[in-house]
Structure 1
């Protein structure tokens, strides 16, 4: 679910961290629901006043969620909690270490399948492109990434779960 608040200038503001002050408006986490709420003026009806809704609210939400997920990945990299690259990931998985496996959705199927076979029972995230993963890790591209277990991994899984629901992927 998403929380929105109305700013003092009557603009609708997504509050994905659920910390902004004010009465929140809650909406289901699917893209179709966001589009329906925008088209039918449901935010104004729920707030009982006029509300300025951004033109492409669904696209804006998608961008915010992707940025949040990749920010968690970048933070984990700076903390030394991430390993990237086929061989390094394969070595880490053979030692049964790791909490979350991230694979680029546009990566080659054979390499992805080989890594997936080693990561049985591990959380898998494959909603990002190689360029997006690479950017979060300070590289051009990254297809295979393993993040250690811990709080950052839990937060990343929560945010990617929201993103997958929003984009219509099955969990």
Structure 2
């Protein structure tokens, strides 16, 4: 399993729904006791047989327990019995819950990217991304974690030369980006500025609590 980057911070994140709906309601983390926007957290519900179940969309019925969206906090919740306290009963915590949440958050993100592609808000390919950068500020740059340093540097520094602040997502592999866009692999991508880009940035930040963000080491001066 991947660990979150030391500079990742789930407290400043939000998920897709808050883009259109305004500010997210505040919830209290069952572990840290922080009061955070619910979009910076992961909700958990109970299945009919009392199994703790990630509710990524926050829509499952019944009582919910909210945990700050990062691996360390979730693993602390499991270790210290936060779910039994939160649900006020004995519960079954599945093995590998953190990995399950990471997978679901990844699915959420790739689903958003796929929607963006269908809506015409995604540009793919090295030359196409560089051409799009010349025309308009991007909402988000996509660079595969296993892509070549030379290519991503050329994209990033062109963007920085043209615009004062640039956001990049680098925690997805070329295969994971390929899944989002129905291709075998994708190395370079761009999400056009707009609602889809905002939603994608926020969904990516929530995922970042569960895996390393290599872009923070590639380009420490980027906008976060």
TM-score range, shorter chain: over 0.9
Match of 2:180 in 1: 136
Q: Deviations over 1:18-48 (max 9, x none)?
A: 2222221111222111112112322112211
Q: Deviations over 1:39-78 (max 9, x none)?
A: 2322112211111111100000010011111111111111
Match of 1:84 in 2: 124
What is the CA distance between 1:7 and its match in structure 2? 2.2
Trace 1:22-61 onto structure 2 (pairs within 5 A): 22-61=62-101
Query: Would you identify which runs of 4 or more consecutive aligned residues in structure 1 move more than 2 Å?
Result: 165-171
Structure 1: state its 5+ residue gaps: none
The answer to whether the 8 A contact 1:30-1:168 is kept is no
The alignment covers a number of residue pairs equal to 171
Larger RCO, structures 1/2 (Cα 8 Å, 6+ apart): 2
1:158 to 172, 188, 202: 202
The CA RMSD over aligned residues, in Å, is 1.5
Cα separation, 2, equivalents of 1:21 and 1:140: 37
What is the CA distance between 1:168 and its match in structure 2? 5.4
Cα separation, 2, equivalents of 1:161 and 1:74: 18
The answer to whether the 8 A contact 2:51-2:92 is kept is yes
Match of 2:109 in 1: 69
> Normalized against structure 2, the TM-score is what?
0.72
> Normalized against structure 1, the TM-score is what?
0.93
Trace 1:4-23 onto structure 2 (pairs within 5 A): 4-23=44-63
Cα separation, 2, equivalents of 1:92 and 1:152: 16
Structure 2: state its 5+ residue gaps: 1-40, 217-223
